[in-house]
Chains A and B, each alone.
Chain A
C-alpha cells in the first residue's frame, strides 16, 4: 500500500523536474523545421542590457548612445556562420520575438523597437560583390507575405518594430566556407535600437538567410535563433566629498605643501607691511611685499580664484590703483598694484602653479620694479578697485586643482606730494569651485 501511495508522488515529482528542466533548457534549444540548415556560431551582442527606458546613470547623467548604460539607444551586433556554403544568398531577416521557434507566434518583445535603425554595418566573410544594405523601403506586409509562417514583422508600413531586413541588389554565391557574418546596427543618437523595457527579460532574435533578395520562405537557406536578455542594472553609488581647501597667508605662514597640500598657517593673520623695514613708502624707491594663497579642490567643473579689495587709503587720501591694464613700476608716481610672481618660489613652498593659470593682466608680477630708468622695469601690475563690489579673477583652472600655491606681489609707489599718513587696505581672496 505504501508503495502504491508513493508512486503518484514520485510521478508528480518527476513531472515537475522534467518541466523545470525543459523550462531551463528551452531558450537555448535551436529549431530548424523549415528544411534549412542551421546557422552556427550564432550570437547577439547588446551594447547595453539596460531596459529601453534607460538613458542616464543613477545620478541622472546622460549616458551616450551605444554605451553600456543606455538601453534606449542601443547597438546590437548579430554574428553567425553560414552552414550552407557555395550557394547564393541575397537577403537576411533578423526578427526579434518573445519566442525563438520559427513556427511559434512572434510577439515583439515588450517595449522593444527597431524603428530607428537606419543602417547596418556588415563585416566578416560574406562576398561584397553586391553588398548587403538595410532595406527600409519594403513594407512589412510584403515581407510577411514572403516569409509566410516564419514569423511576423510588426509595425505599420515600413516601420519595423521587431525586424531588421537586409538584402543585396543581386544574390551572390559565397565561397567554400565557412563564411562568418557580423551585422551591427544602432548605437547612434538617431540611428539606434531600443531594448525591451522589462528588466531581466529574455528575448530572441530569429535569423533567416535566403537565397533570393526578397526573404522568400521557399528560398530559406540557413536559419537559427539567438537569445538575449535585459538585466537589472546594478547602481553603485560611492560618495566623494566636495573639497575646497583654500588658505591665505603672508610669508610667515608659508609652510611646505607636503603630500597632503598642507594649508598655509595663519602667520601674521594676514598683516603685511608694504614699504621699507618700517613699512614706509618712498617716492624715490618702489617697494613690494608678497602674500600667498594655496588651493586644493576636486571641482572638476573648474576653479577660479578672485580678489576683492580697495587700493591703499588713508581717510580721503589714496594711492592710485594701477588699473585694469598692467603697467610697470614707476617710482615717484602713486601706484598700487598686484601681480602673480612666478619667480617667488620660496624654495618650493611659494609659487607653484600646475593647474591654475594666472589671469593675463596679473600674470607678469615677476621682474624688476626699481630699474633705472623706470622704463626698464619688467614686472607688471594691475589692480581694479571695482573688485570691492565685483571680485576680479586673478587665476583659474578648467578643472580641479591638485595643490597650487600662488604668490601675489604687491607694488607700492608714491609721489612726492602723496599726503603723509598710514595707508591701509584689506585684500580678500575668494575661491570658487564648480562641481
Chain B
C-alpha cells in the first residue's frame, strides 16, 4: 500500500508539473499603440467636403509598408466597424505627407483609405498625412478613425501598430445682423460732438445792424449716411425781412461790403470777417457757390453741401453775414433757415 501511494503521488507530480510548466499565459496583442495621435478636421460641419489631417508617432521602430484609415462609429478594433452616416472618403486624395513618407493611396472605399509604400523601418518622428476631398459624417457627434499600420505593403497580415482617433461634428454658429438705412443729420447753433443729442441752441441774435458794420453768426449741421448715392443738404427759407422790408440776399458769391444790403452765407473758414470753419475732413463737400472763403451767397433751396456716396459723419459750419444800407428801414429783421438733407439709397 505504501509503495502504491508513493507511486500515485510521484505519477501525479510527474503529470502535474509539466502541465504547470505548459500553462499558457495569454499574451496581449503584439500591436503597438500609436502615440500622439490626432485627427484635425478643417471644418466640423456635418456633410462638409473638407480636409482631414492625421498625425501620430510609432512608439518603437517597426517595419511599415501600408497604413489603413478606417472611419467607424466606434474606436475599438474588435467591434464591427459601421461607417458613420454620411461619411465618404471614396474620392479622398493624399495632398501631403511628412515623417514616414513614400506613401500613395492604394485604394479607397466609402469608409477606408489605404496607403502603401515599399516596406521600410520607421523612425521616431511625427508622421502627418493630409487627405482632401473627404466628406464629413452628417450627424452631429463624435466619429472615429481606426489607424492600422502593416508590415506588408498591401495591408495583409497582422497590424504592427494600431490606434484610433476621434473627431467631432458640430453645428456651425450662423450669425446674422441687419444694418438699416441710415441718415444721420442734425442742426444747431453748436454741435460740440458727433452726437446729435449734444446739440446746443437754435437761435442766432445778430444784434443791432449798422451800415458801417458787418454782423455775422454761425450755425452747424452734422450729416452722415450709408446711402449708396450720398446726400444733398439744402438751405430753405427767405432772406431776412421785417414786414415788407427786406435785406437783399446775395444771389452769387460776393464779398461782404459795408453799406450794401447783403444777406449771405458760406460753409468755409473766412477771414473777412473772421468767421466760420471749414468742414471736417470727409468725402462730402460744400456746393461750389458756398465753398469760397470770404464770399457769401444765398438762394432759397440751394444745395449747400453734398456727397455722392456713403459718408461718415461730417460737421459743416455755416457762416452768415448781414450788411445794410444807410437807408435800411428800421425794424426787427429775421428769418428761419431750414436745412433739409436728402439721401439717395
Contact = CB atoms under 8 A, between A and B. Distances in A.
B164 A272 contact: no
Interface string A276-289: 00111101100101
A37 to B, nearest CB: 35
Interface stretch (A175-183, A202-210, A247-255): A247-255
Given A242-B164, A417-B310, A426 B226 contact: no
Nearest to B61: A60
Interface of B: 3, 6-7, 9-11, 13-14, 17, 21, 25, 27-30, 32-33, 35-45, 55, 58-60, 74-76, 140-142, 144, 161, 163-168, 170-182, 184, 194-195, 224-226, 228, 310-313, 345
A425 interface: yes
Chain A CB count within 10 A is highest, among B13, B142, B144, for B142
A241 to B, nearest CB: 5
19 contacts: A14-B10, A17-B10, A61-B35, A200-B21, A234-B25, A245-B141, A249-B171, A270-B171, A272-B174, A283-B184, A293-B170, A297-B166, A301-B36, A422-B179, A423-B176, A423-B179, A428-B173, A431-B44, A434-B37
Contacts of A60: 32-33, 58-60, 161
Contacts of B175: 272-274, 289, 312, 410, 424-427
A234 B29 CA distance: 12
B57 to A, nearest CB: 10
Contact of B167 (A16, A244, A293): A244
A17 B59 contact: no
Contact of A281 (B11, B43, B179, B224): B179
B177 A280 contact: yes
Contact of A279 (B41, B55, B142, B176): B176
3 closest Cβ pairs, A-B complex: A60-B32, A10-B3, A235-B28
Given A280-B179, A299-B38, A424-B174, 6 more contacts: A20-B14, A60-B33, A242-B165, A272-B175, A416-B225, A417-B226
Contacts of A61: 33, 35, 59
A422 B177 CA distance: 6
A62 interface: yes
B29 A312 contact: no
B226 A416 contact: yes
Interface residues of A, number: 85
Interface of A: 6, 9-10, 13-14, 16-17, 20, 56, 58-62, 200, 232, 234-237, 239, 241-250, 263, 266, 269-275, 278-281, 283-284, 287, 289, 291, 293, 297, 299, 301, 308-309, 312, 314, 319, 332, 391, 408, 410, 412, 414-435
Contacts of A301: 35-38
Nearest to B224: A416
A116 B81 CA distance: 48
Contact of B178 (A200, A242, A250, A275): A275
Contact of B182 (A236, A420, A435): A420
A420 B226 contact: yes
B45 A428 contact: yes
B31 to A, nearest CB: 8
Chain A CB count within 10 A is highest, among B10, B41, B171, for B171
A301 B36 CA distance: 6
A13 to B, nearest CB: 4
Contacts of A241: 74-76, 144, 164
B38 A237 contact: no
Contacts of A232: 25
Given A278-B178, A280-B180, A428-B45, A247 B170 contact: yes
Nearest to B223: A416
B159 to A, nearest CB: 12
B194 to A, nearest CB: 8
